[in-house]
């Protein structure tokens, strides 16, 4: 009898734990933005760049689970970190073929994106959702109206009175048309060099030499992850690199969990993330 009671007690506790995790994953975690602070130590900057802060966000998936209130709260936390530069890794709207995007929704999101503050500029690449035929004709102009400069297989020199670094933007491995050769044409990698792209497995095609940091999203950290085991499921484009920071030769690959969710509005051990990279002179 005692064994039966003990067994029932264990089952009850496991059920309670399961319900608690489910409630947390669907009600709390999806709304709770984690600010991930990472220091990048490099000899390829000067004194004036020491302490420069770069915010990296990805995967908004607006207009389904991600709404105005949820994103407003996240933006408040991002702005509180006072980034100098903001980089966005793609997927603005969620499944545009399924969820119609009204002018009101576009204006609402644009106002939110404009409220992101970065003295040295805001830059973006496209994800596979941004190549959906329902948005592809106007998404570049939309991002421009929201104060983001889009990089499509090209690079630019970030500067403020003086050159700061290279920013190389490459189109999404999934759904896009990445052109790495064109993106790196005439890039001087003696300068600090960041690659911004959507799907992290693109790094297997990159010329690692001279790249300091690559930033990607796409995977959402699996949305459900298991401690010590990683993402619960994998998706094309994030099968090899799905979550967290990887060291590949002399390059750091940072894969963000992103801000939004898709298919199911749940996150377990995969909170929404904004990475704040602080450059430090070696």
Task: Indicate whether 21 belongs to any domain.
Answer: no
pLDDT tens digit at each of 282 positions of the chain: 666 766 666 665 666 566 667 667 788 899 999 999 999 999 999 888 899 999 999 999 999 999 999 999 999 999 999 999 999 999 999 999 999 999 999 999 999 999 999 999 999 999 999 999 999 999 999 999 999 999 999 999 987 767 779 999 999 999 999 999 999 999 999 999 999 999 999 999 998 789 999 999 999 999 998 777 777 778 999 999 999 999 998 999 999 999 999 999 999 999 999 999 999 998
CB 224 within 8 A of CB 265: no
- CA distance linking residue 265 with residue 270, whole number of Å: 12
Q: What is the pLDDT of residue 275?
A: 98
Q: pTM of the entire structure?
A: 0.94
Provide the domain count of the chain: 1
Q: What is the pLDDT of residue 269?
A: 92
Q: Over the chain, what HEC string results?
A: CHHHHHHHHHHHHHHHHHHHHHHHHHHHHHHCCEEEEEEEEECCCCHHHCCCEEEEECCCCECCCECHHHHHHHHHHHHHCCCCEEEECCCCECCCCCCCCCHHHHHHHHHHHHCCCCCCCEEECCCHHHHCCCCCCCHHHHHHHCCCEECCCEEEEEECCCEEEEEEECCCCCCCCCCHHHHCCCCCCCCCEEEECCCHHHHHHCCCCCCCEEEECCCHHHCEEECCCEECCCCCCCCCCCCEEEEECCEEEEECCCCCCCCCCCCECCCCEEEEEEEEEC
Name the residue range of residue 261's domain: 32-281
Q: What is the pLDDT of residue 251?
A: 95
- CA distance linking residue 66 with residue 77, whole number of Å: 16
- CA distance linking residue 256 with residue 272, whole number of Å: 8
Q: What is the pLDDT of residue 49?
A: 87
- CA distance linking residue 6 with residue 32, whole number of Å: 36
Q: How far apart are the first and last CA of the chain?
A: 67
Q: What is the pLDDT of residue 225?
A: 86
Task: Indicate whether 27 belongs to any domain.
Answer: no
CATH of the domain at 155: 3.60.21.10
Tokens read off for 178: 């990445």
Task: Indicate whether 170 belongs to any domain.
Answer: yes
Tell which residue, 86, 89, 78, 166, has the closest CA to residue 130. 89
Q: What is the pLDDT of residue 76?
A: 98
Task: Indicate whether 14 belongs to any domain.
Answer: no
Cβ within 8 Å of residue 111, ≥6 positions away: none
């Amino acid at each position: 009898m005692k064994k039966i009671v003990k067994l029932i007690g264990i089952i009850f506790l496991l059920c309670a734990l399961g319900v608690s995790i489910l409630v947390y994953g669907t009600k709390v975690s999806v709304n709770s933005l984690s600010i991930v602070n990472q220091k990048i130590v490099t000899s390829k900057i000067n004194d004036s760049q020491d302490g420069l802060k770069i915010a990296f966000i990805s995967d908004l998936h607006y207009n389904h689970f991600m709404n105005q209130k949820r994103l407003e709260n996240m933006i408040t936390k991002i702005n509180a970190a006072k980034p100098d530069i903001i980089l966005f890794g793609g997927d603005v709207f969620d499944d545009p073929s399924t969820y119609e995007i009204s002018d009101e929704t576009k204006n609402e999101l644009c106002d939110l994106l404009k409220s992101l503050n970065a003295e040295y500029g805001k830059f973006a690449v496209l994800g596979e959702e941004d190549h959906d035929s329902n948005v592809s004709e106007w998404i570049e102009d939309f991002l421009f109206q929201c104060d983001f400069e889009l990089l499509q297989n090209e690079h630019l020199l970030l500067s403020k009175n003086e050159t700061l670094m290279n920013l190389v933007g490459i189109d999404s491995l999934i759904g896009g048309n990445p052109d790495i050769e064109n993106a790196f044409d005439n890039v001087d990698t003696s300068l600090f060099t960041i690659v911004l792209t959507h799907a992290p497995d693109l790094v297997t095609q990159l010329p690692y030499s001279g790249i300091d940091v690559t930033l990607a999203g796409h995977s959402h950290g699996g949305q459900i992850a298991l401690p010590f085991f990683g993402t619960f499921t994998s998706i094309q484009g994030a099968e090899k690199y799905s979550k967290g920071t990887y060291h590949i030769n002399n390059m750091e690959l940072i894969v963000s969990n992103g801000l939004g969710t898709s298919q199911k509005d749940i996150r377990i051990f995969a909170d929404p993330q904004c990475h704040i990279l602080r450059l430090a002179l070696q």
